[in-house]
Amino acid sequence: MSAVTETRDTVQAATQSGYKWGFETAIEMDIAPKGLNEDTIRLISARKQEPAWLLEWRLKAFAAWRETTEPHWARVTHPPIDYQDIHYYAAPKPKPGPKSLAEVDPELLRTYEKLGIPLKERAILAGVEGAGTEQNVAIDAVFDSVSVATTFRETLAKAGVIFCPISEAVREHPELVRKYLGSVVPAGDNFFAALNSAVFTDGSFVFVPKGVRCPMELSTYFRINARNTGQFERTLIIAEEGTYVSYLEGCTAPQRDENQLHAAVVELVAFDDARIKYSTVQNWYPGNADGKGGIYNFVTKRGACRGARSKISWTQVETGSAITWKYPSCILQGEGSVGEFYSVAVTNNHQQADTGTKMIHIGANTRSTIISKGISAGHSNNTYRGLVRMMPKAAGARNYTQCDSLLIGDQCGAHTVPYIESRNPTARVEHEATTSKIAEDQLFYCRSRGLSQEDAVNLIVNGFCKDVLKELPMEFAVEAQKLLAVSLEGSVG
Amino acid sequence: MLEIRGLHAGINGQEILRGIDLVVPQGEVHAIMGPNGSGKSTLSYILAGREGYEVSAGEILFDGRDVLVMTPEERAVAGLFLAFQYPVELPGVGNANFLRTALNALRRARGETELDAVQFLKRARAALKALMMPDDMLKRNVNVGFSGGEKKRNEVLQMAILRPRFAILDETDSGLDIDALKIVAEGVNALRGPDFSALVITHYQRLLDHIVPDRVHVLAAGRIVRSGGPELARALEESGYAGIAAEAA
Amino acid sequence: MSAALAERGEDFLAEFARRCASLPGALATREAAARRFAAAGLPTRRLEAWRYTDLRALAAVSFAPAAAGADAAALISALPDFAAPRLVLVNGKIAPASSSFPEGDGVGSFARTPDFALRCVPLAALNTMLAEDGAVIRVADGVDAATLALAHLSLAEAGQPIAVHPRHLIRLGAGARLTLIEYATGQGCYWHNMVAEIALGAGAQLTHIRLQTEATAAFHVATIFADIGAAARYDCFTLGLGARLARTEIHARLDGAGGIAHLNAAQLLRGAQHGDITTIVAHDAPGGASRQTVKSVLADRARGVFQGRIEVARAAQKTDGYQMSQALLLSPEAEIDCKPELEIFADDVKCSHGATIGALDPDQLFYLRARGIPEKLARTMLVRAFLDEAIEGIAHAGARAVLDRAIARWWEAEG
């Protein structure tokens, strides 16, 4: 039997035993009734004790949502989503917004511990920096609709950095939220963004004031737990002049037979010389081997490089979700600003991913780099969809795009759909794309050196993804590498 | 015939040449030596008319004509030739077609009759032979897939065919082994005579063993800090640029 | 939905209702096409396949069918020498007097032997609905039919724009060979909406060289369907220079093992010209190979479009697909939109595409000028070199000479 046939058979025989995050936490919840109408929105707004302007903004978004229809241009198929059959608010009882880690429900702490997310500041507090296994990362933990804990807030506050749940930012820093919310992704931007704007419940807020280099990595860990709920988080990161911030997000969900909707919006704003590094390891429950269950991940992420020489860098490792619909983008407005998109998307079994980026070059001498690696296995479909647009004023702008797809097995699909538009003769665009399979001779070479089939595939896949993985912060790169192996393990062997 | 007076120039607002005075009389070969970053290549590009450089003061005269107002092709027609340090690749442009087009552009401008393909090939083959280069050099696209040494030899081939009155050789020796260096030097020496002058820009003395210059100038920090006979090159080889640079500062 | 597009679509349906009884061939097929066209209408930019080409300028023109008896003598005498027998069509109908080879020997008129397939492409449906005539070329098994030229001349009287919908059928039997030179030109304001259906038997080889120099007020849409059999080879090259709006849409299907498709194209556009090259290469059988090199040179306010999709079906293992599209923008107002696409369902394949967009390289330009070559000539040389990669494969000397002259004339006018 050839190596590839063997790989394929293992893929077909695969079960989702690999998904290790599929447990459910038994915890008492405050859940809104199913369905979406103005009352739902008023309820969310009231639970969050929001100011009137935000309720109004939500209601406007809801009106816009009702005017738009679900987009169908992506290469994904799913049964119609009944938006009235979803809970739009679910929060653990009884203490929304604990004041300190000590007040967090121990059941939740145990959940995050089980997920390998340290909601403790022990290492630092005890003054043993770097001694233990704890990482110097500040974490905001979002459990269903609410943020349950945010670590290292005092340390960050000393540096002037605000890192808190967005619901809290609405109360504590209303002027900032009001100024920037919807300034990159307007409330009516698209169907899912409008839905999010109407019903978003929590998410992270980051503000880095002028000249500050954020002293540690910031991270949000999203967990869907409750049944039949949607998760609609909203993240807003503002980097003032001359700042640097690195933000990571991770996510998991229990293993369930029904599909659950996740429609997030992320907005980034970078001013002169600011740099934002945004990394995602997306590991929502992908459904079982027959394509039953899993998260619908319909996400709008966009960054505005408003300032000169600003830089926004998106890195994503997408291994989870039944369906992924996501195009982290950069609006390169500031002269000499830089956008980057590094992506690994792995689909297996019946997963569908339609992901890519948009690089809109508005200002002169703007630059963008797109490196996308798609890996399809099982019966999955994996699409890169990207737009590079050079506007008339983008003199001297540059784009380089490299999209590579790897197919494992002959029941899956790999697709590349780039849109390239240029209206400036001095702008230069270069695009390359390839599709291939894992070469038999590479596999044979590895195996003749003693590697198992599975290890050989992992090795080759990791090599294929290297250009992207090296962009991840170190702690995440290791995790991502393991995740790739697991994704193809429940699959490759 | 070539006079540079009080030349100040730079790029992107940064001054690189800070007052160059240099006269290369007809029939002489001068060498310019200097450490990296001293402005050698900037000088060669400004002589050839590359865009992007700002001349803030001074003048360049070639046979009494103001070079700075001339387009690159007018300079070539006037007889100036730059052998590039990094010759560019021209995919899709055949070497023979390129050389014949260039040669005929020069001939037309001088009121000479243009060469047809046969006449041109005859002349090109002779030049190839003299430089010990294979005939298939003409069939390849200009510099595409050429090794570093082949590119440099191609520059000298162009010079041999176009027969300029003033050649600027910008680090033509870099990347050449000793045999190739000798061939290149012979190509230049073959052109030497009362109607040919050259400015040989180099970092090392070894090229000057084969193309013996009439004068040697040392460029440091954008100025000529010392001039002398061929012996200056040998002195530099022994003592290095450090002492000279210190003098300049 | 543009009201003008809908209205113009209605006009064509009305024309069909008026004329359907007098059109050749099976009425049922035409009626089916009419239903399809009625449902789809003239394509709007909302259709993904027409995202970058807007037909509203076409919809602003009221076209009539061509009247008989147009005097094309001047256009005919200006036809280039293709060094091959030629078949001339005037306003969509074969002009036997101007054609230099006899009917028979597999060459004939579509009006006499109508044979068409229904296609799911809106403008092909329009053509199916209204086609009056065209060339039918059949080459029997094993026959080398050498070279034929097919010239399409359109002639609109001042003030009366016309639309013509010629339908060509080219069938090569097993192992047959043909070089077909297709040439389109005309005068006045017209819409030349042609469809060619090509079928290549096992091991057949068709070289298809196309030169489009339509009148500056004209609209040109060519839709080509090529079914390529086992080990057959379709070599197509299109040079687009004319028309106010032009679209070449090629659907190449490799449905036999080891088929080969080469779809090369170049377009040189200026003024407010719009040129669209759209290709879909469907690899349906194993071991096929496709190659594409598409070059766009855009001056003034010209807008170029390239959409190219390589589809590889599950069965098409060992497919080797490659596509390169490059655009040169010569003016600050020129625009290029490019969408190279891969859609792959087989794992043992090698597919890639590349796209580059930019201006002439200033370093190359300087190098040429430093050797004494005047700027304008230097630009011409670099653009020629840019185009050559797409053109160099054309072995037919007569066709090559015609293309070279057409490009040279374009540059003279450019200066």
**Which residues on C lie below 8 Å from A411 (Cβ)?**
314
DSSP symbol at A157? H
Q: Answer positive or negative: Cα dihedral of B204, B210, B216, B219.
A: negative
Q: Report pLDDT digits (tens) over A258-286.
A: 888 999 999 999 999 999 999 998 888 88
- Nearest-by-Cβ selection for B88 from C364, C377, C378: C364
Cβ <8 Å between B93 and C371: no
Chains that touch B (3 or more CB pairs under 8 A): C
Distance from CA of B171 to the nearest CA of C (A): 16
- pLDDT more than 70, % of chain B: 97
DSSP symbol at B193? B
Sequence-separated (6 or more) residues with CB below 8 Å from residue B103: B115, B120, B161, B162
C295, C363, C367, C389: best to mutate for the B interface, most B CBs within 10 A:
C367
- How many C-beta neighbours within 10 Å does residue A370 have? 25
- Nearest-by-Cβ selection for A430 from C317, C330, C356: C356
A203, A142 in Cβ contact below 8 A? yes
**Which residues on A lie below 8 Å from C341 (Cβ)?**
415-418
Q: Rounded to whole angstroms, how far apart are CA atoms C389 and B151? A: 22
Distance from CA of C389 to the nearest CA of B (A): 7
b/e for A268-293, b at 16 or more Cβ within 10 A? bbbbbbbbbbbbbbbbbbbbbbebeb
pLDDT exceeds cutoff 70 at A7:
no
Strands (E), A423-454: 428-437
- Residue A100 — very low, low, confident or very high, per pLDDT cuts 50/70/90? low
- Residue A101 — very low, low, confident or very high, per pLDDT cuts 50/70/90? low
What are the structure tokens assigned to C339, written together?
């969408």
Q: Report pLDDT digits (tens) over A185-214.
A: 999 999 999 999 999 988 899 999 999 999
Q: Rounded to whole angstroms, how far apart are CA atoms A96 and A168? A: 11
- Nearest-by-Cβ selection for C344 from A390, A408, A415: A415
CA angle C342, C53, C269 (to 5 degrees): 95
Report the first-to-last Cα separation within chain C, whole angstroms: 40
- Residue A291 — very low, low, confident or very high, per pLDDT cuts 50/70/90? confident
Residue of A nearest to C303 (CA): A423
The pLDDT of B223-247, averaged and rounded, is: 80
Residues listed for chain C: 415
What are the structure tokens assigned to C361, written together?
């390289």
What are the structure tokens assigned to C93, written together?
């109908």
Strands (E), C201-319: 205-213, 219-228, 233-240, 245-254, 260-269, 274-283, 289-298, 303-312
pLDDT for res A8: 43
Query: Where do we find the tokens 């080469």?
Result: C262
Cβ <8 Å between B71 and C369: yes
**Which residues on A lie below 8 Å from C343 (Cβ)?**
413, 415-416
Task: For strands A137-143 and A146-150, give the pairing.
Answer: antiparallel
Element (H, E) at A252: strand A244-252
**Which residues on C lie below 8 Å from A414 (Cβ)?**
342, 344
Q: Rounded to whole angstroms, how far apart are CA atoms A438 and A443? A: 7
- Which of A335-339, B239-243, C220-224 is predicted with the least confidence, judged by mean pLDDT? B239-243
Q: Rounded to whole angstroms, how far apart are CA atoms A281 and A263? A: 16
The pLDDT of B14-36, averaged and rounded, is: 93
Q: Rounded to whole angstroms, how far apart are CA atoms A140 and C248? A: 55
CA angle A298, A304, A309 (to 5 degrees): 140
Q: Report pLDDT digits (tens) over A115-129.
A: 766 666 543 333 333
Cβ <8 Å between A427 and C357: yes
pLDDT exceeds cutoff 50 at A133:
no
A381, A413 in Cβ contact below 8 A? yes
ipTM of the modeled complex:
0.89
Distance from CA of C366 to the nearest CA of B (A): 7
What are the structure tokens assigned to C45, written together?
């930019």
Sequence-separated (6 or more) residues with CB below 8 Å from residue C282: C251, C252, C253, C254, C311, C313
Query: A118 or A481: which carries more pLDDT confidence?
Result: A481
Highest mean pLDDT among A142-151, A480-489, C307-316: C307-316
Query: Where do we find the tokens 């907005």?
Result: A267
pLDDT for res C201: 97
pLDDT for res B244: 64
Residue A484, SS3 per DSSP: helix
Cβ <8 Å between A415 and C343: yes
pLDDT for res C45: 93
C167, C139 in Cβ contact below 8 A? no
Residue of C nearest to B79 (CA): C372
What are the structure tokens assigned to C136, written together?
């039918």
pLDDT for res C249: 98
* Backbone φ, ψ for residue B159 (5° rounding): -65, -40
pLDDT for res A121: 55
Cβ <8 Å between B92 and C363: no
Residue of B nearest to C372 (CA): B73
What are the structure tokens assigned to C131, written together?
């086609």
Q: Rounded to whole angstroms, how far apart are CA atoms A441 and A311? A: 40
pLDDT for res A128: 33
Ordered by where they begin, the domains of chain B are 2-248 (3.40.50.300)
Chain C touched by B92 (CB under 8 Å): yes
Residue of B nearest to C363 (CA): B88
Q: Rounded to whole angstroms, how far apart are CA atoms B223 and B109? A: 35
Query: A449 or C220: which carries more pLDDT confidence?
Result: C220
A225, A143 in Cβ contact below 8 A? yes
The pLDDT of B194-222, averaged and rounded, is: 91
Q: Rounded to whole angstroms, how far apart are CA atoms C366 and C386? A: 17
pLDDT by 10s per residue, chain C, length 415: 578 899 999 999 999 999 999 999 889 999 999 999 999 999 999 999 999 999 999 999 999 999 888 889 999 999 998 888 999 999 999 998 889 876 667 888 998 888 888 888 999 999 999 999 999 999 999 999 999 999 999 999 888 999 999 999 999 999 999 999 999 999 999 999 999 999 999 999 999 999 999 999 999 999 999 999 999 999 999 999 999 999 999 999 999 999 999 999 999 999 999 999 999 999 999 999 999 999 999 999 999 999 999 999 999 999 999 999 999 999 999 999 999 999 999 988 999 999 999 999 999 999 999 999 999 999 999 999 999 888 888 888 888 988 888 888 888 776 5
* 3-class DSSP string for C297-365: EECCCCEEEEEEEEEECCCCCCCEEEEEEEEEECCCCCEEEEEEEEEECCCCCEEEEEEEEECCCHHHH
Which one, of A46, A102, A2, lies nearest residue A410 by Cα?
A2
Query: Where do we find the tokens 């008492």?
Result: A28
Q: Please state, rounded to an integer, the average pLDDT across all residues of chain A.
A: 85
Residue B156, SS3 per DSSP: helix
Q: Rounded to whole angstroms, how far apart are CA atoms A410 and C346? A: 5
pTM of the predicted structure, to 2 decimals:
0.85
Q: Rounded to whole angstroms, how far apart are CA atoms A386 and A101? A: 42
Strands (E), B63-174: 65-66, 80-83, 166-170
- Residue A10 — very low, low, confident or very high, per pLDDT cuts 50/70/90? very low
B80, B81, B93: best to mutate for the C interface, most C CBs within 10 A:
B93
Chain C touched by B87 (CB under 8 Å): yes
Q: Rounded to whole angstroms, how far apart are CA atoms C396 and C399? A: 6
Sequence-separated (6 or more) residues with CB below 8 Å from residue B209: none
b/e for A141-152, b at 16 or more Cβ within 10 A? bbbbbbbbbbbb
The gap from C-alpha A476 to its chain's centroid, in whole angstroms, comes to 13
In Å, how far are C99, C128, C212, C333 from C24, measured between CA atoms? 22, 11, 27, 46
pLDDT exceeds cutoff 70 at A492:
no
- Nearest-by-Cβ selection for A431 from C333, C354, C359: C354
Cβ <8 Å between C349 and A392: no
Q: Enumerate residues 349 to 368 of chain C having a beta carbon within 8 A of any beta carbon in chain B.
A: 361-364, 366-368
- Peptide bond before A94: cis, by omega within 30 degrees of 0? yes
For chain A, what are the domain ranges? 3-487
pLDDT for res C414: 67
Query: A252 or C370: which carries more pLDDT confidence?
Result: C370
- pLDDT more than 90, % of chain A: 51
The gap from C-alpha A241 to its chain's centroid, in whole angstroms, comes to 25
- Which of A6-10, A40-44, B27-31, B34-38 is predicted with the least confidence, judged by mean pLDDT? A6-10
B233, B208 in Cβ contact below 8 A? yes
* CB-side neighbour CA atoms (13 Å) of C188: 19
Sequence-separated (6 or more) residues with CB below 8 Å from residue C95: C72, C76, C88, C89
Q: Rounded to whole angstroms, how far apart are CA atoms B20 and B39? A: 10
Which one, of A232, A314, A307, lies nearest residue A273 by Cα?
A307
SS3 content of chain C, % helix, strand, coil (to 5): 25, 40, 35
pLDDT for res C107: 87
Residue by residue, DSSP assigns B84-102 as: -SSPPP-TT-BHHHHHHHH
pLDDT for res B195: 92
**Which residues on B lie below 8 Å from C367 (Cβ)?**
84, 87-88, 90
Strands (E), A254-351: 259-262, 265-270, 275-282, 294-305, 311-318, 323-326, 329-332, 338-347
Interface present between B and A (3 or more CB pairs within 8 Å) = no
Q: Rounded to whole angstroms, how far apart are CA atoms C367 and B89? A: 9
Q: Rounded to whole angstroms, how far apart are CA atoms A66 and A80? A: 16
C153, C89 in Cβ contact below 8 A? yes
Query: A1 or A444: which carries more pLDDT confidence?
Result: A444
Query: C218 or B98: which carries more pLDDT confidence?
Result: C218
- Residue A102 — very low, low, confident or very high, per pLDDT cuts 50/70/90? low
- Nearest-by-Cβ selection for A420 from C314, C334, C355: C355
pLDDT exceeds cutoff 60 at A131:
no
